[in-house]
Amino acid sequence: MSDTEHDEPRLIPVRRPPDRPSGVGTRPVGDPRESPIVVDTRRKVRLRHENPATPAVPGAARPAGGTAYGVGSAGVGGARGGAGGRPPAAPDQGYAAPRRPSARVRRRRVAAVLVLLVLGWIAFMVGVPMTAWGKVERVDNAPAQRAAAGKGHTYLLVGSDSREGLTAAEAAAIGVDTVDVGKRTDSIMLVHLPDSGKPVLISVPRDSYVAIAGHGSNKINAAFAFGGPKLLTQAVETATGVRIDGYLEIGFGGFARVVDSVGGVEMCPATAMKDSDSGLDIQAGCQLMNGRTALAYVRDRHSDPRGDLGRAERQRQFLAAIIKKAASPSTALVPWRYKGFADAAAAGLVVGGDTSLSDAVAILQALRSVGNGDGISLQVPVADPNYSVKGVGSVVKWDEVKAKALFTALRTGQPLTAG
């Protein structure tokens, strides 16, 4: 073979990438355009500024400032970022789920809800009695001549036999007639709140023989029939020497509705009681009394061997029991019962012109204390429960010495004991 033959150019096949255009990749040996180094163009060249964490996938998007040159449809070293020179599509970032509030935020929200509930409950507890108080009937009970003010505060509570406002059906439901008999007192009590010490509940027998201004001497309940709350207040102040600081009166219908509003009151008579006048017919032992039975129970004096004195004692017991029931969680924490009691009490209540809501609350608290055993329950000391007076009949005569000592102790703030 001659030297000339060795100098002839030879074609050396160069492997081209799969996506390289046909006809590209072979050049004569010695071609000045041919690099003496064969580069594997199937590899992608990573630029210096490319993020190494970015996956090296052909056509994938690269962060700004660093783009890989790969093999695309445009050939070796084709367009940046993908085939055909088109910019790559932004990767799907997916749906970002909302962040859950932190434990601190949740606690704050729960605390805010609890505060709102407590404030709402307080507003309800205060608003209900205030609204009811605006509906009570008011009378002028302040006499022209008053007893001197003493220690503590004393309030006059009156239970009247008024049928005012009762329909025939309502009267029949509670066992009374609708005959207009005027207004008489079935019960008279004093609630004394000392400056210090236990509250005192005192029964004044309705047949007590006392002086009545302009009417001589008579049973104390006659003062109510003659001149209503004003004359009765004056008669009580004259007989006791104690100034009356507030007046509350409730009639038959109001009393029965109050009892029913709290779901009845449990009482425990020691003996069976039956009275045709009041309609009472009960057995001995503890039992739940509704409004009708309760009214008959506190009115009855014919089946009680102690007569009016026995009735006065039952009235004190029942009044304390009903207020205790009204203040119990079963009533106070049940919205409809709490509101029902307030509405029923207001519908049947008559108060003195100078008697405030705070006075009424103080009276209820005192009665609750008596019901819980934390107060004192008394009756005006009596010398003769059947004292006969010409033209008047049988009356209750006080024990003047003991009665005077009792009322002196109230005026001067001396401690009292039950008995």
Evaluate whether residue 69 is within a structural domain: yes
Asked if 156 and 31 sit in the same domain, the reply is: no
The pair of structure tokens assigned to 240 is 């006791």
Among 26, 57, 88, residue at a domain's last position: 88
Return the pLDDT at 410.
93
Mean pLDDT, residues 108-129 taken together: 88
Asked if 45 and 175 sit in the same domain, the reply is: no
104 or 212, greater pLDDT:
212
E strands, 304-356, are 349-352
The pair of structure tokens assigned to 156 is 């006059």
Asked if 43 and 144 sit in the same domain, the reply is: no
**Distance between CA 198 and CA 402 in Å, rounded?**
20
Evaluate whether residue 126 is within a structural domain: no
- In this predicted model, what pLDDT tens digit does every residue of 48-94 receive, in sequence order? 444 544 454 455 445 444 444 444 444 444 444 444 455 555 555 55
Asked if 83 and 139 sit in the same domain, the reply is: no
- CA nearest neighbour of 195 among 238, 154, 242: 154
The pair of structure tokens assigned to 109 is 């929200």
- In this predicted model, what pLDDT tens digit does every residue of 348-358 receive, in sequence order? 889 998 899 99
Asked if 202 and 349 sit in the same domain, the reply is: yes
Range of the domain at 351: 134-412
Beta bridge partners of 208: 396
Evaluate whether residue 21 is within a structural domain: yes
Surface-to-core class of residue 370, CB atoms within 10 Å of its CB (0-12 exposed, 13-18 middle, 19+ buried): buried
Asked if 186 and 324 sit in the same domain, the reply is: yes
Instruction: Report residue 311's pLDDT band, with 50, 70 and 90 as the boundaries.
Output: confident
Return the pLDDT at 267.
92
Evaluate whether residue 111 is within a structural domain: no
11 or 142, greater pLDDT:
142
Asked if 66 and 152 sit in the same domain, the reply is: no
Evaluate whether residue 233 is within a structural domain: yes
Evaluate whether residue 383 is within a structural domain: yes
Return the pLDDT at 154.
96
E strands, 208-348, are 209-211, 217-219, 246-250, 265-267, 273-275, 280-282, 287-289
**Local structure of 125: helix, strand or coil:** helix
Q: In which element (H, E) is residue 257 found? A: helix 252-261
CATH of the domain at 227: 3.40.630.190
Asked if 199 and 282 sit in the same domain, the reply is: yes
- In this predicted model, what pLDDT tens digit does every residue of 46-57 receive, in sequence order? 444 445 444 544
Return the pLDDT at 70.
43
Asked if 176 and 255 sit in the same domain, the reply is: yes
Asked if 79 and 139 sit in the same domain, the reply is: no
Evaluate whether residue 114 is within a structural domain: no
In this structure, what DSSP letter does residue 178 have? -
**Distance between CA 293 and CA 280 in Å, rounded?**
7
Asked if 213 and 341 sit in the same domain, the reply is: yes
Number of domains making up the chain: 2
Residue 32 has pLDDT above 60, yes or no: no
Instruction: Give the N- to C-terminal CA distance of the chain in Å, as an integer.
Output: 154
Asked if 383 and 306 sit in the same domain, the reply is: yes
Return the pLDDT at 176.
64
Return the pLDDT at 4.
46
- In this predicted model, what pLDDT tens digit does every residue of 172-201 receive, in sequence order? 666 665 555 556 787 899 999 999 889 999
Evaluate whether residue 61 is within a structural domain: yes
Return the pLDDT at 276.
80
Residue 243 has pLDDT above 50, yes or no: yes
Share of the chain above pLDDT 90, in %: 34
